Chains A and B, each alone.
Chain A
Amino acid sequence: MKLEELRFGTELIKRGFASMQKGGVIMDVINAEQAELAEEAGAVAVMALERVPADIRAVGGVARMADPQKVVEIIDAVSIPVMGKARIGHFVEAQILEALGVDMVDESEVLTPADEQFHIDKTRFGVPFVCGARNLGEALRRVNEGAAMIRTKGEAGTGNVVEAVRHMRAIMGGIRALKGLDGQELVDRARDIEAPAELVIECANLGRLPVVNFSAGGIATPADAALMMQLGADGVFVGSGIFKSANPEMTARAIVEAVNHYDEPKVIAEVSKGLGEAMKGLDIHMLREDEVLQTRGR
């Protein structure tokens, strides 16, 4: 085979990877045992972490990329894709995760940002990236930097879905509000939301984001997951919600089924029975300003 016939890390490959995750649940795990449980429960991928967001909150200090030893341990444990989190702007953590063989890098506000001005230039990587966003402008700025997938930021580690809902409504509503605008008005809107005009025009034509859009940040129950799907998410990330629940195995399976049957309340009711206590959760209004993660990176 001639070399020019082979291409790696193209936009099609990166965005295509994200498309294969649609309708799925991506679960945070901190060791091989949890990763195996997640795979067995039907997760489409796992996020390899040092600790789940709820514990990152509890521990405090600077939150960094997970120990590479831990990432490798999780990669070796499962056949589904493994994702890893790098700090916002920390392109060397991203390089390390890529070198370890993670299938997607999450440039995540859950970790302490390394750069308060720039996100990672994701076009320079072969591995695809997912990034958090709170609204349409933020989502399109990340796509412009090369993100192959977007997720709502929500407020990670709270078990409180309110911020994920706010962000999903902002993104979907932002796209709906493009309908009927003419060319000049779209350019004007792009200026307002601080996003590249060509991406705003692409969104207007598609009636959706140009990449897959998941929900994350506070999903704790099957009902939360189905809520985000009905609001337009292509799938969900569940962080602390599984392994901080009373029965992680049942909760993991139930959330997978709730996402699959998100518009069938009878099924969601059935799988929600007897799960025991969900993670305790936090009231967003009780967080101090410096405890809010979603405002990191804009």
Chain B
Amino acid sequence: MGVKVGVLALQGDVSEHIAAFRQALADRPGSMVIPVRHTEDLAGLDALAIPGGESTTISRLIEKNGLYEPLAEFEGGVFATCAGMVLAADRVDDPRVRTLNLISMHVTRNAFGRQVDSREVLLAVKGLSEPFRAVFIRAPVATEAGPGTEVLARIPEGIVAVRNGRHMAFAFHPELGGDLRLHRMFLEGLGV
């Protein structure tokens, strides 16, 4: 059976997420990946990706577009990266971002400093046999994982990959760089 994935398309690296999920689902006939801009786009989705971008901007556009409640109540699996991880959390160090409370964790924005401190790290991720080349771009970290949130990867700065039920969140960008193992892990966890 095909999988229907939406990508929240308000701001950020939306097309990279769409391309990565299309590639990861190439062997699942009947699958589709669509951009989500309005509440009605969420209907019938098995999963939703919340992309990287600026979390303050995306948060503001979620409110403006009346998407806060529908997203917070989304029942499929959520695949959140970077700014998406900030939005998916239930606690953040910045009052300018209203979190969607999908994954119990405390996140800190821009935990690495300025853009020149952005980095690629060879990362051990729980559930992957080989390390993952993770690209962090002005990335957040989780400083604490709450009840039900499993830590999948950690670096000295903090927690950078988590799973909570069908939801997964990453401080880095699995949608960049062409390695789709984390997408496959997420899709398997959906149970569709």
Would B115 and A127 count as touching, CB distance under 8 A?
yes
Number of A-B residue pairs at CB separation under 8 A: 118
The reply to whether A1 and B64 contact each other, CB–CB distance below 8 Å, is: no
Contact of A98 among B16, B116, B138 (CB under 8 A): B116
Q: How far is the CB of B48 from chain A (nearest CB, A)?
A: 17
A247 at the interface (CB under 8 A from B): no
With A16-B137, A20-B138 already in contact, the answer to whether A6 and B54 are too (CB < 8 A) is no
Check if A126 is an interface residue, CB within 8 A of chain B: yes
Chain A: which residue is nearest B115 at the CB level?
A: A103
Q: Which of A1, A13, A128 contacts B120 (CB 8 A)?
A: A13
Partner of B94, one of A5, A79, A128: A79
Q: Which residues of B contact A104 (CB under 8 A)?
A: 115
Does any Cβ of B come within 8 Å of A31's Cβ? no
Set of chain A residues within 8 Å of B110, measured between Cβ atoms: 79
List the one stretch of B55-63, B99-107, B142-150 in contact with chain A.
Answer: B55-63
Pair B118/A17 contact, Cβ less than 8 Å: yes
Mark B132-175 against chain A: 1 for CB-CB distance below 8 A, else 0: 00010110000000000000000110000000000000000100
Q: Is A106 an interface residue (CB 8 A)?
A: no
Flag whether B121 is at the interface (Cβ < 8 A): yes
With both beta carbons as reference points, the residue of chain A lying nearest to B52 in the complex is identified as A20
Tell me if B10 is interfacial: C-beta within 8 Å of chain A: yes
* Residue of B with least CB distance to A208: B15
Known: A6-B121, A42-B61, A127-B116. A20 touches B83 (CB 8 A): yes
Whether A45 lies near B54 (C-beta < 8 A) is yes
The yes or no answer to B12 lying at the interface (CB within 8 A) is yes
Q: Does B89 contact A (CB under 8 A)?
A: no
Cβ-neighbour of A23 out of B10, B82, B113, B120 (below 8 A): B10
Task: Provide the bound-state CA to CA distance between A10 and B137, in Å.
Answer: 11
Pairwise interchain contact B176-A24, C-beta atoms closer than 8 A: no
Known A8-B118, A20-B82; judge A260-B138 contact (CB<8 A). no
Report 10 cross-chain contacts, Cβ distance below 8 Å, ordered by A residue: A8-B119, A16-B137, A20-B83, A22-B13, A42-B57, A79-B109, A81-B54, A98-B116, A256-B60, A260-B64
Q: Which residues of A are at the interface with B, using a C-beta cutoff of 8 A?
A: 1, 5-10, 12-13, 16-17, 19-24, 39-40, 42-45, 79-81, 98, 101-104, 126-128, 256-257, 260
Beyond contacts A8-B119, A16-B118, A79-B109: 15 other A-B pairs, Cβ-Cβ < 8 A, are A5-B121, A7-B120, A8-B120, A10-B135, A12-B135, A16-B137, A19-B13, A20-B13, A22-B11, A23-B10, A79-B110, A80-B56, A101-B116, A103-B138, A260-B64
